[in-house]
Amino acid sequence: MAGFILIVIAACIFPGVILRTKSLLSGRKGPGFFQPVKDISVLMKKGSVFSTTTGLIFQIAPVVTLASILCSLMVIPFGEHRALLSFEGDFIFFSYMLAFGKFFTIIAALDTGSSFEGMGASREAFFSMLVEPAFFILLATFAMFTGYTSFSDIFNNFFITGNDYVMIYSIIGVYLLVQITLVENSRVPVDDPKTHLELTMIHEVMILDYSGFDKALIHIGSYLKFALYGSLIYNLIVPAEWNIFLQTFLFFTVQAFFAVIVGLTESFRARNKMNKNPKFILTLSAIAWIAFVVILIMTDKLV
Amino acid sequence: MVNYLIVFFAVTLMYFSSADRLTTYIKLIGIQGLLLCGIAIFELNEVNTANLLFIVSETLIFKTIMLPYLLTRIIQRSGVTKVHRLAMPGFNLLLFSIFGLLISVILAKILINPFINTIYLAIALFTLFTGMLLIVTHKLIISHLIGFLIIENAVFMFSLAIGNEMPMMINIGILLDIFVGVLILGFFGLRLKPHTNELTMLKD
């Protein structure tokens, strides 16, 4: 339960830190840390407008997406505290719940009948398909490393294996998770959330037709996903047996640091050309594959 | 520590497959030289000091500094900054590379014996595969040279896979380095005509 609450709190601050980092780096005073939360509260008070072309799928998609993200939050542990839901193979549940939410976003985009949204949906589906192997290979590596297939057990036993490879898998894991987060949340260098040209959009073009309350739900989902991946990163670098107060402090520090990294990336890095994105994403899978191969050799599990 | 360096060495190989700018290739060649230097320092602790010093200085001065410098000069003189447009796309190259890593691991497992370090052998085979892949799929002769340098690094890794008993193998690798240096200087540094690509293109 602690993990769930902390992730929700971190999600409120995360986008603010990104905005603040970007504005400071561009020499502006910028909005406050809680500006995105205020924007959401304004959107919440508004009603939704639906195009006559759209159907039921379009209307339920934001709720389903947010629900799926909340479900996937339940399997993330915090330190020694087990997750709300914890069972063997829960990382597969986690991944497919997120994929389920994305599936609804994609079919909702197709439901609008707009060629722009269809194009964005196609790109999003393709990039998600490419990033999925990286995530699964990474988690399979951790599962093989610790001998467990549940997030709670993997992270509780990750640092007590006493293996020399712990540090290297933490580094590779953090690097891959940061990149996967950027892909999954459609941020620079894969996508630019601030772009105004529909032809170059990926995620933003899919949610163009949403307004008011539904748009607020989509934004909440996006912020939660950031904090969710940040929580995975935290679990990879902080041993589970440390003091709870220190852990809570480190949790927010890691989340803030992660948000600053995203802000720095968006400030200093140009967006990839669209045709370079598949190669960029596949490189992540390739790096995860190297980690997997090394662990296969190390544990003598290669048949 | 040495395992960290090997894994990062393998990661640089993946970036070779995905990169399409020659400057990136050169940076990666320099990084690989540095990583090999680190691996040699940590691994070859049983060879005599003079031999170790020679190997370390060779990797550090030649592979990390001189080769990237020479290659940068060649790029500046020829004006060629990117791989040829007819080269295999990076996406396909990455897929081949992933497949290559799998094959390398299987081969390393088949060839396993008490005298060979499996991780070294697997990464050495993968390095060899990446170098050959770069040569086969790219059009510009400078990419072929880069591929050749990667193969040379594979030879170095092979010698480390066998362990401390084979310093001669490393020396052969060094001789190969010198050969590559001569090749670069002879064909490119001195004879390449600026602003033309007649010597940069190997085949259509």
Q: What is the pLDDT of residues A265-290, one digit of tens each?
A: 999 988 888 888 999 999 999 999 88
Distance from CA of A80 to the nearest CA of B (A): 28
Q: Which residues of B touch A282 (CB under 8 A)?
A: 18, 91, 94-95
- Structure confidence at residue B195 (pLDDT): 54
Please answer yes or no on whether A279 and B18 come within 8 Å at the CB atom.
yes
Domain count across chain B? 1
The reported pLDDT for the residue numbered B141 is: 77
In this predicted structure, what is the pLDDT of residue B88? 83
**Inside any domain, residue B69:** yes
Residue A21 has pLDDT above 80, yes or no: yes
Q: For residue B199, what pLDDT is reported?
A: 46
CA angle, corner B86, sides to B84 and B90, nearest 5? Answer: 80
Chain B interface test: which of A282, A284, A298, A302 (most B C-beta within 10 Å): A282
pTM, entire model: 0.85
Q: Is residue B62 part of a domain?
A: yes
Q: Quick one: average pLDDT of B187-200? A: 55
The percent of residues above 90 in pLDDT, for chain A, comes to: 60
Mean pLDDT score of chain B, rounded to an integer?
A: 80
Residue B31 resides in a domain: yes
How would you label A128-137 residue by residue, b for 16+ Cβ within 10 Å and e otherwise? bebbbbbbbb
Q: Is the pLDDT of residue B171 over 90?
A: no
Write down the pLDDT at residue A171.
87
**Dihedral angle over CA of A247, A253, A256, A260, nearest 10:** -140
Mean residue pLDDT of chain A comes to 89
Alpha-carbon distance A279 to nearest alpha carbon in chain B (angstroms) = 5
- The arithmetic mean of pLDDT across residues B10-27, rounded, is 90
pLDDT at A128 over 50: yes
- Top pLDDT among B15 and A160 is at B15
pLDDT surpasses 70 at B73: yes
Nearest to A290 among B7, B89, B118 (CB): B7
Nearest residue in chain B measured CA to CA from A288: B11
Q: Does position B125 have pLDDT exceeding 90, yes or no?
A: yes
Would residue B170 count as lying in a domain?
A: yes
Domain that holds residue B52: 2-78+86-189
Q: Is residue A301 within 8 Å of A144, Cβ to Cβ?
A: yes
Q: What is the pLDDT of residue B114?
A: 81
B163: nearest Cα among B37, B40, B8: B40
Q: What is the pLDDT of residue A133?
A: 92
Residue B44 in this model has a pLDDT that exceeds 80: no
CB-nearest partner of B105 from A276, A278, A302:
A302
Average pLDDT over every residue of A100-120? 92
**What is the number of other CB atoms lying within 10 angstroms of the CB of residue B182?**
10
Q: How many CB pairs under 8 A join A and B?
A: 61
Is B134 inside a domain boundary? Answer: yes
Query: Does residue B31 have a pLDDT over 90?
Result: yes
Q: Is residue B64 part of a domain?
A: yes
Q: What is the 3-state secondary structure (H, E, C) of A58-113?
A: HHHHHHHHHHHHHHHHCCCCECCECCCCCCCCHHHHHHHHHHHHHHHHHHHHHHCC
Q: What pLDDT score does A27 carry?
A: 92
- Residue, of A210 and B79, whose pLDDT is higher: A210
Lowest mean pLDDT among A299-303, B15-19, B80-84, B104-108: A299-303
Nearest to B119 among A279, A280, A297 (CB): A297
What pLDDT score does B203 carry? 46
Q: Classify residue B194: in a domain, yes or no.
A: no
Compare B56 and A287 and report the one with higher pLDDT. Answer: A287
Q: Average pLDDT of A195-209?
A: 84
| Residue B113 neighbours by CB distance under 10 Å | 7
- B143: in domain: yes
Please report the pLDDT score of residue B202 as a whole number.
47
Q: Would you call A115 helix, strand, or coil by DSSP?
A: helix
Q: What is the DSSP letter of B98?
A: H
Eight-class DSSP state of B88: P
In the structure encoding, which two tokens stand for residue A284, read together?
A: 């992540």
Selected residue of B28, B91, B97, B120 to mutate for chain A interface (largest A Cβ count, 10 A): B91
